[in-house]
Amino acid sequence: MSNTLDVKDEIPGQWLIRPCEEYNEELTYCRGWRGRLYQRYMLGEKQDCAPIAEALHNCMFWLQRKDVDELKKLISYEEDRLIRRKLSAKNNDVWQRRSEPPSDWNAPLPDWAKKRAESIGKQTEKPTK
């Protein structure tokens, strides 16, 4: 395999790669006080920022040296990240999934909603000077 600019088009999964600036922003947030606060109160523990740092390193090496191995590592990181994101959405049990819509989904609006809709329609523009 050649080490030229067109190598990126030959490797499957290259569309997953984000600009290196995004990896840097993600790492900065992970290590910053806001990120640590979120990790403590939402996740219950400190998150390891090393994988993000490694992804940034791989991205920079890919840009500077066109190293195909670094590109493959970066694609692997992005695939793992995508899988984790999809799993967290799938395992979200906060909302109950419906098999059919509610029985009264097309019921008439309550009186307060009708009055509000009418008042919104009656609003006029302010006269210009």
The pLDDT of residue 55: 96
User: Using CA atoms in the order 76, 78, 79, 85, what is the torsion angle rounded to 10 degrees?
Assistant: 150
- Summarize pLDDT for 13-39 with one digit per residue, the tens: 888 999 999 999 999 999 999 999 999
pTM: 0.66
Task: Quote the pLDDT of residue 1.
Answer: 44
Counting Cα atoms < 13 Å in the Cβ hemisphere of 23 gives 21
Give the per-residue pLDDT at 94. Answer: 79
Angle CA(23)–CA(26)–CA(31) in degrees, nearest 5? 125
Q: What is the pLDDT of residue 47?
A: 93
**Where is pLDDT greater, at 124 or 79?**
79
pLDDT value of position 117: 86
- What was the pLDDT predicted at 7? 54
Q: What is the mean pLDDT of the chain?
A: 87
HSE at residue 89, side-chain half, CA atoms within 13 A, is 6
The amino acid present at 113, given as its one-letter code, is: A
